[in-house]
Amino acid sequence: MTDDRKKLAELRAEVRSWLAQNVPADWRSEMTGTRTEDFVSFQRKWMKTLVDAGYATAHWPEGWHGGGRSLDEQLVIVEEMVRAGAPRLILYFISLYHTAMTLAEWGTEEQKARHLPAILHGEIWCQGFSEPNAGSDLASLKTRAHRDGDHYVVNGQKIWSTLGQHADYCLLLVRTDATGPKQAGITFLLMDMKSPGVECRPIRQITGDEEFAEIFLTDVRIPVANRIGEENQGWRVAQTTLSSERGVTIFELAERLSWSRWRLLEAISDGNGAVVDDQLRREAVDVFIKIEALRALVRAMMSDMMAGKDIGGAASIVKQLYAQVLREFTALGLRADPAAPLLAPFTLGGGHETGNWSFDYMNSFMWTIAGGTNEIQRNIIAERVLGMPREKSA
């Protein structure tokens, strides 16, 4: 065994042992139908537990607690988290990935010193990118900001901000110049959610969850010191933020979907573990093959990332396939148990992890939109993978 493989094996054993002692017992049942306040409290405690162990920030740069891990080491940690059925840090996803990676690449030393330690101590972030008429076409955003001395004064509206009602800060894209190309007039700001003029309203979904929020901004004053990068260069900064969803995060989602197969088998089998419905068996095998194909594509993309290769449209292919397979997976579970009522859901999250097929199926539709709609992903695949020309506007 090479030194690298031995090191990874030791890390795997270490993480597996730690998880056996620290994953909260019966956390799924306790979080099913719980109050939002209890969910937030649970997430805060789990975040602190993972941060203290150094497992929440394995992807952070070297020098930060838990940071500096190789990609192989990060994957080992994720694999063991999935294997142990550990809770996802839903409340801190934006904080740990989008915010941390954006600050690491673009933030000033003062901004890093202010916010990265605060995240480790529980500071919650949300993202203010999408708008009612600028979701898929993000560069068309209309939220305006004008310079007033040492502040920007912001007016506008954001929507689909994940868990924005619980956030302390927001990654905010605003328009500071409307005279040139739409990508060229965007500025990236860090906004205190407690600033005067900020109103955050939760959005009730079909599942009963309030996983998203809309944010209304009326003459909100944001210090120029809270700008990331230069004025009108926010589009470049935003690409770093958006790219943080690739790699380890989609790897975890694919692995969690794979480990959830036992729930589907349980749903379609009789009391003795046999699948007696031939059609359900055939469709289950088809979905399971697609899950394995998804995992293979993700791992191939990760290998290319580790080799420093440009992954191009691979991330779009993976995201598109994940949304498709998740829909088919949960739809099959719902067909197997069509009388299942929409019981109290797994608060703020899920997708395929609750075992409540009605809830999981409805929640799966979110993945055709989140992180870039299926239509946008198809355009990227057509242009960057297939080399098809961009359609000319009339």
Residues assigned a catalytic role: 245
Whether the CB-CB separation of 173 and 186 falls below 8 Å is answered with yes
Strand-strand pairing, 212-223 and 198-203 = antiparallel
**Pair type for strands 169-175 and 125-128:** parallel
User: Residue 172: what are its φ and ψ, rounded to 5°?
Assistant: -120, 130
Concatenated DSSP letters of 172-204:
EEEES--SS-GGGGEEEEEEETTSTTEEEEEE-
With contact defined as beta carbons under 8 Å apart, do 234 and 372 qualify?
no
Of 68, 84, 69, 97, the closest CA to residue 11 belongs to: 69
How much of the chain is helix, strand and coil, in % rounded to 5? 50, 15, 35
Cα of 324 vs its chain's centroid, Å: 17
Q: Are 217 and 153 in contact (CB under 8 A)?
A: no
Can you list the alpha helix ranges (DSSP code H) found in 23-88?
Answer: 27-31, 36-53, 71-83
| CA dist., res. 278 & res. 120, Å (int) | 50
Q: Which two tokens stand for residue 266?
A: 């349980």
- Are the C-beta atoms of 149 and 156 separated by less than 8 Å? no
The closest alpha carbon to 357, from 346, 342, 369, belongs to 342
Distance CA 242, CA 239 (A): 5
**∠ Cα 62 67 68 (to 5°):** 50
